[in-house]
Chain A
Amino acid sequence: MIYTVKRNQVRTILIPLEKVEEVEVVLEEEGATAYILAYFVGLGNANVETRLTITHRAPQTTAEAKVRRVLSENSYCRFAGLIRIDQKASLTNSYLADDTLILSQRARAESAPSLEIKANAVRASHGATLGKINANELFYLMSRGLSEKEARQLIVKGFLQPILTRMASSERKRKDLLAKIRKL
């Protein structure tokens, strides 16, 4: 699956990680901008491996990729995100964040964010975090009367908010994601 972004084009790309194995977003021409939102909620024995490549081929291109993953039960999810900046793609800004919540003992997460940068007048960075739900946040919500399950789902919904907001135009996808969250 390849998405190409042309001169001065701004594209928002939503990527359900369980539906694809390889995605490439190519910022092909000057001024191209891409907002990428990738997500995954893992239940049961789900087994997902996805590789996302963001390639900057022209100067003054921008990409911002947010990856949000929630793993529960016996799920496994590997995410590899590569930001590649060609030598002529100077004045590029590219950023990738991969955040994962691990909710169960048997869930397994792998994160491999990478960079291959061949131009130096750029700003490229990435970050990754993995962990469970903050115990204090959970406790606070429960002290307000929510059950542990309700609290957990509310927090996960907040965690996935950047994704849910961008789904405003696709009611089907939104409903599916919310249904998944309710199973956690």
Chain B
Amino acid sequence: MYKSQIPPLKDYQFGFSDPEEFVFKSLPGLSSKVVEEISAQKDESNSMREFRLKALRIFETQPMPSWGADLSALNFNDICYYLRPSQKLYHDWNQVPVAIRRTYNRLGIPQAEKEFLAGVKAQYDSEVIYGSLLEELKMQGVIFVSMDEGLRDYRELVQEYFGKLVPPGDNKFAALNSAVWSGGSFVYVPPHVKVKLPLQAYFRINAAKIGQFERTLIIADEGSDVSYVEGCTAPSYTTDSLHAAVVEIFVKKGARVRYTTLQNWSHNVYNLVTKRARVEEEGVMSWVDGNLGSKVTMKYPSCFLFGRRSYGEVLSIAYANTGQHQDAGGKAVHLANETGSQIISKSIATGSGRTSYRGLVQVPSIVRGAKSRVVCDALMLSPQSRSDTYPLMKIYSPEVRIEHEARVGKIGEDELFYLMSRGLTENQASALIVAGFLEPIVKELPMEYAVELNRLIELEMEGSVG
């Protein structure tokens, strides 16, 4: 059981940092020299090096987004794009350098590994440090390695998919990631293999001003079933850091993938992520996205429904306290008949925090039988908080059933009064109501996370009612 996987939001107890021990650290700022250094450190093929350099040129010419959160304080020249904490990948926990092991011990990872999980990739700064995979999965042909290993050991498979769903030209931060990506996971599940336990990965940004640019690729072959969980933290520094990740997921015919994220970056991280899934016939993609930390998050997990009767959903929780802006949501693009989608967003804004929902549901003219439901509920716990909703529906076919609803408000006086009349204190009543508010999504989280999240809410309620 994770004791403190997700810390109380008030006292960020993962704000400790280890003195940087690194084998290689690039100078701050971005240039083709830095990109080439990264590629050389990883001993990459020419084609990957060229891919990175081309992406860098795209990044340099692309403008910043004209919408969304305020990114004006982000200075690309001030960030260090690569830090490599040790020379190689370990397969046995005891071989990992002591300082790094200590960080992960404090985060509770080895306990988890001992307990149930299928395989753990723990990422410290820019390299994936430690991974292990249950023998059973190995025998079934499941591949769960770092992205670097994937490129090296499964080159053809990776190259067939890498960058095909989120190409460098997609947006400025995808271009950045494509140029300086490091770390992330590569997962391949063979046809009809059901992975019973969630695959876990853990990220941590340590050195100040380091960017975290992991790149994850998941391929679930026909009829397979896999679940992947990522949790992220960063120590507290006074300067800002950047996390610009890209996740590409290919859900083949009849396959099911669930990707769960519990992001709890410290409040000086810019979290700008592109997550996209391509779903084939009768495939199911489920994003469960928890955004609790960071200074600014811009993230809209998407499902592109390419196959007939495919289904995609985004279940999103966002929490913003003073100094935070969570700009999150989801996209569903229906490109085949009888497709279905669901986006459920539950957000909580307190202090002077701001939560924004941004989403898209799109159905072109020739698609028949598309069904979509979007529900955005926002709770504002303080009078200084702010909540926005910016959905967009582009519906070009009559053969559809599209629904959208959004509600904003504070905790209901009547509900509060009722619970207090039953003997609960105001704090207990609020905490219960908030837990009920989040319940539809929290119940989809792996049990350890769900319990932690509920505990966090209670702790948070102790301080900030009204």
Contact = CB atoms under 8 A, between A and B. Distances in A.
Contacts of A180: none
A13 interface: no
B391 interface: yes
Contact of A104 (B398, B402, B404): B398
B383 A90 contact: yes
A15 interface: no
A104 B392 CA distance: 21
Interface string A15-44: 000000000000000000000000000000
A74 to B, nearest CB: 11
A126 B407 CA distance: 7
Interface string A97-119: 00010111111111111111111
B392 A110 contact: yes
B380 A115 contact: no
Interface stretch (A60-68, A129-137, A168-176): A129-137
Given A114-B388, A114-B391, A102 B409 contact: no
B403 A128 contact: yes
A131 B388 contact: no
Interface in B396-413: 396-410
Interface string B305-325: 000000000000000000000
* Interface SS, B side: strand
Nearest to B374: A128
B116 interface: no
Given A116-B388, A120-B380, A130-B395, A111 B404 contact: yes
Contacts, number: 110
Contact of B386 (A103, A108, A109, A118): A118
B381 interface: yes
B55 to A, nearest CB: 32
Contacts of B385: 120
B428 interface: no
A87 interface: yes
A91 to B, nearest CB: 11
B17 interface: no
A130 B400 contact: yes
B383 A121 contact: yes
B395 A103 contact: no
A126 B405 CA distance: 6
A127 interface: yes
A123 interface: yes
Contacts of A107: 396, 398
Contacts of B404: 111, 113, 126-129
Nearest to A111: B393
Given A108-B395, A128-B393, A123 B386 contact: no
B271 interface: no
B345 interface: no
B408 A117 contact: yes
A127 B374 CA distance: 10
B402 A131 contact: yes
Contact of A112 (B365, B390, B397): B390
A150 to B, nearest CB: 19
* Interface SS, A side: strand
Interface residues of B, number: 33
Nearest to A85: B408
B386 A117 contact: yes
Contact of A120 (B383, B391, B405): B383
A160 interface: no
A125 interface: yes
A102 B400 contact: yes
A122 B408 contact: yes
B394 interface: yes
B398 A113 contact: no
Contacts of B365: 105-106, 108
B409 A122 contact: yes
A102 B370 CA distance: 13
B389 interface: yes
Nearest to B394: A110
Nearest to B356: A116
| Among A87, A105, A120: residue with most chain B CB under 10 A | A120
A58 interface: no
Contacts of A118: 386
A109 to B, nearest CB: 5
A55 to B, nearest CB: 14
A75 B198 CA distance: 48
A97 to B, nearest CB: 9
B430 to A, nearest CB: 13
A90 B408 CA distance: 13
A114 B376 CA distance: 11
Nearest to A124: B408
A110 B380 contact: no
B86 interface: no
- Sorted nearest first, the 3 A-B pairs with minimum C-beta distance are A120-B380, A102-B398, A132-B398
Interface of B: 365, 378, 380-410
Interface of A: 87, 90, 100, 102-132
Given A105-B365, A130-B400, 20 more contacts: A102-B400, A106-B365, A110-B393, A110-B395, A112-B391, A112-B392, A114-B388, A117-B386, A117-B408, A118-B386, A120-B381, A122-B408, A122-B410, A126-B389, A126-B405, A128-B393, A129-B404, A130-B402, A131-B401, A132-B400
